[in-house]
């Protein structure tokens, strides 16, 4: 009978909450993934996570790590465009190293990992649409990471990818809503300024708007800024209500 890692109800709840919107940022979502991996995967002493664009993996979009030394290992691989993390992102296939001291696939990387106490590691990857999330789990003794429990890491990488995608969708919707609100507010202040000029100049709306444009172009000031000044000045000159 094969070994199946147990997922507690508490862990299930934490994993589910990863995908909720809004997250503070993609980096926060990735950091939560690394923390969960460290707390739940047997033998995992620390973890890093990287978000990539599937169409361009030459530069990571976001990174997070549980420890500065591990974050450095992630960053140096991304900077050199070489190492297990980079290979996993490029091929979208996981890798496993039972003993860093005996590892020969990445001769430039393994000495750096050994210097920082890494004796084994596992990289898993998950793709959500155009987004790739790689999760690296590190052990401090050889074979500390149990291959049979790495499915938990794959689950966390998958949910982390969903969380990051939700974050970006929320940020995009929020940005659009903000832009629409600003556009409505700008239109309102311009209409008020046109009303002030129509009253002062005895002209129609089109003429008042052309005058606003003329002042804006002559003074090299945005139209909405000119409109705000006209409306504010009019309010200051208006007699108080009795």
Give the chain's radius of gyration (CA, Å): 28
Helix (H, G, I), strand (E, B) or coil at 236: helix
Cβ-contact 130, 86 below 8 angstroms: no
Alpha-carbon distance 65 to 128, whole Å?
A: 21
Name residue 133's beta-bridge partners. Answer: 51, 126
Alpha-carbon distance 124 to 135, whole Å?
A: 5
Name residue 62's beta-bridge partners. Answer: 51
Angle among Cα 191, 195, 199 to the nearest 5 degrees reads 170
Alpha-carbon distance 132 to 125, whole Å?
A: 7
User: Per-residue DSSP letters for 128-197?
Assistant: ETTEEEEEEEEESSTT-S-GGGHHHHHHHHHHHHHHHHHHHHHHHHHHHHHHHHHHHHHHHHHHHHHHHH
**Domains of the chain by start residue, with CATH:** 9-172 (3.30.450.80), 180-237 (1.10.10.10)
φ/ψ bin of 43: left (φ > 0), alpha (ψ from -120 to 50), beta (otherwise): left
Alpha-carbon distance 217 to 49, whole Å?
A: 50
Name residue 46's beta-bridge partners. Answer: 138
Of 46, 40, 108, the residue nearest 77 (C-alpha): 108
Cβ-contact 144, 119 below 8 angstroms: yes
Alpha-carbon distance 72 to 3, whole Å?
A: 34
- Reading the chain (242 residues) residue by residue, the pLDDT tens digits are 444 444 444 444 455 455 544 445 677 778 888 888 888 788 899 999 998 888 788 888 888 899 999 999 999 998 899 999 999 999 999 999 999 999 999 999 999 999 999 999 999 888 877 888 889 999 999 999 877 767 666 666 666 655 665 555 444 444 544 555 665 566 778 888 888 888 888 888 888 888 888 888 888 888 788 888 888 876 545 444 44
**Chain CA centroid to CA 17, Å:** 16
Query: Which pLDDT does position 164 carry in this prediction?
Result: 61
Instruction: For residue 101, say if its preceding peptide bond is cis, omega within 30 degrees of 0.
Output: no
């Amino acid at each position: 009978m094969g070994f199946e890692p147990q997922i507690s109800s508490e862990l299930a709840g934490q994993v589910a909450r990863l995908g909720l919107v809004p997250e503070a940022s993609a980096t926060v979502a990735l950091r939560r993934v690394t923390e969960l991996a460290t707390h739940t995967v047997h033998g995992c002493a620390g973890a890093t996570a990287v978000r990539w664009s599937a169409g361009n993996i030459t530069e990571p979009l976001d990174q997070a790590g549980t420890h500065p030394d591990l974050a450095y290992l992630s960053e140096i691989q991304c900077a050199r465009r070489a190492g297990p993390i980079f290979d996993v992102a490029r091929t979208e296939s996981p890798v496993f190293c039972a003993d860093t001291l005996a590892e020969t696939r990445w001769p430039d990387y393994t000495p750096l990992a050994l210097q920082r106490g890494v004796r084994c590691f596992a990289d898993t990857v998950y793709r959500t649409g155009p987004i790739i999330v790689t999760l690296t789990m590190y052990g401090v003794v050889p074979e500390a990471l149990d291959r049979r429990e790495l499915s938990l890491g794959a689950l966390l990488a998958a949910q982390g990818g969903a969380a990051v995608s939700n974050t970006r969708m929320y940020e995009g919707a929020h940005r659009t809503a903000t832009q629409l609100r600003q556009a409505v507010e700008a239109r309102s202040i311009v209409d008020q300024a046109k009303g002030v000029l129509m009253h002062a100049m005895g002209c129609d709306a089109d003429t008042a708007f052309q005058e606003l444009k003329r002042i804006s172009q002559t003074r090299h000031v945005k139209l909405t800024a000119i409109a705000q000044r006209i409306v504010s000045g009019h309010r200051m000159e208006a007699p108080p209500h009795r």
